[in-house]
Structure 1
């Protein structure tokens, strides 16, 4: 997958728009309730641990389902999986808004878990399919295209909490989910009619991917761990940032705006990082930079208890901007690096591999986004936000050391020498000026035989460019 600078065709533009809508909608599913759900859950008698697990259950379900969708992408069909996943997420979003009518603490939390899990399965199906379609339709610019689509994800991350806070202020708990569910439903219809039919040439009779074999590739395993660690940092903020900011007495709208800072920065930086990856910058070096950004972010937002710093809103804002930079430097490079490493390890450069890597990326992200809010809720109840940030800092110190060690000990592959042909030289009608294109296939016959087929003359010179007129003869053995 080299660099290919070309203008998008109409089909590619339509595909890009459709996939962008999927990323946009899926990120809203995750972030919509962040500014107001914790407080509403507490009114129903829920603790930070409980609503933290509700946030995390979405990602746990995605972690389990994403590899399954990725492995059987060929059997199900990418477009069908994409459309169905968005539709399921739409229904669950509408039903989630009705939880405000439930007064019992146990019933409220139980139904929250159930609807979030089903919504997660639909969302993970859509995202996994979108990743696979990205690698299939844009094989020569996967990193740049993936990063462009992540702009839509970042915008959704921005719009989700902001619109969620505005709609909650205007119409209470029900309105944000009703509006979101309706938007997802319209997006499902748009996908059905707008997305072109995909001809991936794959065998739909069976799934041929070997997910565990891909995980045996060290670079892919390290990329997966880096994605998980980054999602942990996002999930930790999503579950506990709102309680951490309560002392500033901000309105739900202002809290929603603060939530968009990290995602907005990510949306701006992701295309730049993708371009760097497509222009031969080694992705793992960017991952190391990203881990340092995230460590710095948590040192400031906490702030870490070992620093003699008071909690300030300005520090939180600067820290969230730095966090967005870290997201861009890890999530985008990990996707393209996992694909390149898999292909280099001998896996096919086709939608089967893309599907497995897509599922693995989504699954790793989901696992981290489950661990993040789940652990965050427990730590917030036990030790508070400031000391709890040490968990995320420690995880990303491990990421930095692991990637640095890998880069130092990695042996880059050396191109193998081209084998010499032992076929005797050919003489065609005594003409030595012709261009002979040889396509040899070896057999057990000790005496090679040749089949000579003429093809029409065309304007070429000795280097294959337009120039002189020479006879072209195709020879196959």
Structure 2
């Protein structure tokens, strides 16, 4: 917090330099808080009056305090306390405008939309728009790009590598952004990443006329540019969400994950329609233009963040030394292995096993997307409010592993139940359960990584800590997104889709059991520490009693 002495009023209880919370008490304010919180008590200038407050606090900026953009260090006072301050200022000869004035920055903290402050609401809208446009970019060219690539004489392996270049580049972007977030500035990274992604999208749309010998390499270059830009933007955006929302960050991310399913549904439909109307270039041109519009909207919505050049860069991978972060990273990896594997190989399985039409395959994928999208805000709220995120994550991983083994179902289940043919209804039910459980696995991972970052203290700056968490999360997402279609596809070619799903389910079950053992160990350690504290407290009471009573006490004989 900076102080501007040039605008300070005449000496009064409010014109003193309050560089420590105790200074407020010396001026007669018994319980002042900083930021958007409640004020329970206040006193007059003589320190004698006290009054219970049950109303929400109202942020006011004192005239001698100069707060920078989004410092979060404005003084919060209740409405009645503000009146007391104005009255006190008028009694001391100071005008009310000098004493208490609501600034624009404070009004952003006070006004609420659906339970969120105006700054939080703006950041939430920016995250939703960024998520929707990213999901649209993922699916908009999926219906027609393999056909165009095949006309360019590309093999299936080359086409798969073009798709995999996006998450591969994302690993670099997430690590780079997580390390240098505070040095460069979160807002700048978000806007720059969106610009890179939009530019790569437009360039990819121009490659239809390129020579065949260069088409593959140019497509890979454009996908790399898109992957770096998107991963950088999301890494910085998640860090901003953690900073602005605090304990409600997972609820906000869950809501955005739910709404971004709109992009996953609209993207393929829009891409196929635009391609049939205007050819190869039109879908990419429309998506690039929409990305630029979202960029300018986010530039207006996202608050500025402080840049600190002197902060040391730390690799987010260091968080893996903490078991909370290590398990969370593994949960994220296995979750996106499931998502990318089903997205890549699920359609062929449904066609060969049940002979489903393209419409029914779309319904299958829609069930998967909707159950995931509907479950994320629920599990995000549970992880935020109930403080049981690790337990929810473990339970959902266990049941998700069972559902994955039933997705085919696997041969072991076929022999167990005596089924001669695969059950179509079981596949639809299982994919719904898998989508729901993935929401419960993914949402609590953010909170677990934040616990690791605060415990290890790799960065003192709060935004830098959130940058490390976001960087590790996006790195884990990219690894899972790469492994799903590549490793999963390789295993599926040997064992089949059903048995590969069962193998992934077995991995999920094993991970859930390991996390259960970790939780049991933490619970035992907590109980031992509690018992030690209780015994030390009793020992302290006995020592104090002996000091009071003295050591030489007369014995009482019957």
Which category describes the TM-score, using the shorter chain as reference length? 0.7 to 0.9
CA gap of 1:349–1:127, structure 2 versus 1, over 3 A, is: same
Matched, 1:342 2:453: yes
Q: State the distance in 2 between where 1:119 and 1:341 align.
A: 30
- Residue 209 of structure 1 and its aligned partner are, at CA, apart by 3.6
- Residue 291 of structure 1 and its aligned partner are, at CA, apart by 1.9
- Residue 52 of structure 1 and its aligned partner are, at CA, apart by 3.0
Matched, 1:68 2:68: no
Contact 1:232 / 1:372 at 8 angstroms: preserved in 2? yes
Q: State the distance in 1 between where 2:360 and 2:343 align.
A: 15
Contact 2:131 / 2:260 at 8 angstroms: preserved in 1? yes
Structure 1: gaps (5+ residues): 421-477
- Structure 2 partner of 1:329: 440
Matched, 1:406 2:518: yes
- Structure 2 partner of 1:232: 337
- Relative to the length of structure 1, the TM-score reads 0.77
- Structure 1 partner of 2:295: 188
Q: State the distance in 1 between where 2:175 and 2:444 align.
A: 20
Q: How does 1:186-265 map to 2 (within 5 A)?
A: 186-199=293-306, 203-209=308-314, 211-247=316-352, 248=355, 250-251=357-358, 255-265=361-371
1:135 equivalent among 229, 236, 242: 242
- Residue 269 of structure 1 and its aligned partner are, at CA, apart by 0.9
Contact 2:173 / 2:229 at 8 angstroms: preserved in 1? no
Contact 2:175 / 2:315 at 8 angstroms: preserved in 1? no
Matched, 1:370 2:482: yes
Deviations 1:338-379 (A, max 9, x none): 112332344547111100000000000111101111223333
Larger radius of gyration: 2
Q: State the distance in 1 between where 2:209 and 2:132 align.
A: 28
Q: How does 1:131-170 map to 2 (within 5 A)?
A: 131-170=238-277
Matched, 1:291 2:397: yes
CA gap of 1:259–1:356, structure 2 versus 1, over 3 A, is: same
Contact 2:402 / 2:509 at 8 angstroms: preserved in 1? no
- Alignment length, in residue pairs? 414
Q: State the distance in 1 between where 2:163 and 2:395 align.
A: 28
- Aligned-residue RMSD, C-alpha: 3.1
- Structure 1 partner of 2:13: none
Matched, 1:386 2:498: yes
2:379 equivalent among 255, 267, 273: 273
CA gap of 1:179–1:245, structure 2 versus 1, over 3 A, is: farther
- Residue 123 of structure 1 and its aligned partner are, at CA, apart by 0.3
Contact 2:405 / 2:503 at 8 angstroms: preserved in 1? no
Q: State the distance in 2 between where 1:313 and 1:185 align.
A: 43
Q: State the distance in 2 between where 1:107 and 1:353 align.
A: 42
Contact 1:28 / 1:156 at 8 angstroms: preserved in 2? yes
- Residue 122 of structure 1 and its aligned partner are, at CA, apart by 0.4
Q: State the distance in 2 between where 1:299 and 1:370 align.
A: 21
Deviations 1:56-98 (A, max 9, x none): 2211211222021011001111111101111111121222234
SS in 2 for 1:90: helix
- Structure 2 partner of 1:429: none
Deviations 1:156-205 (A, max 9, x none): 33333343344445555444333222211211121122323235xx6233
SS in 1 for 2:409: coil
- Structure 1 partner of 2:410: 304
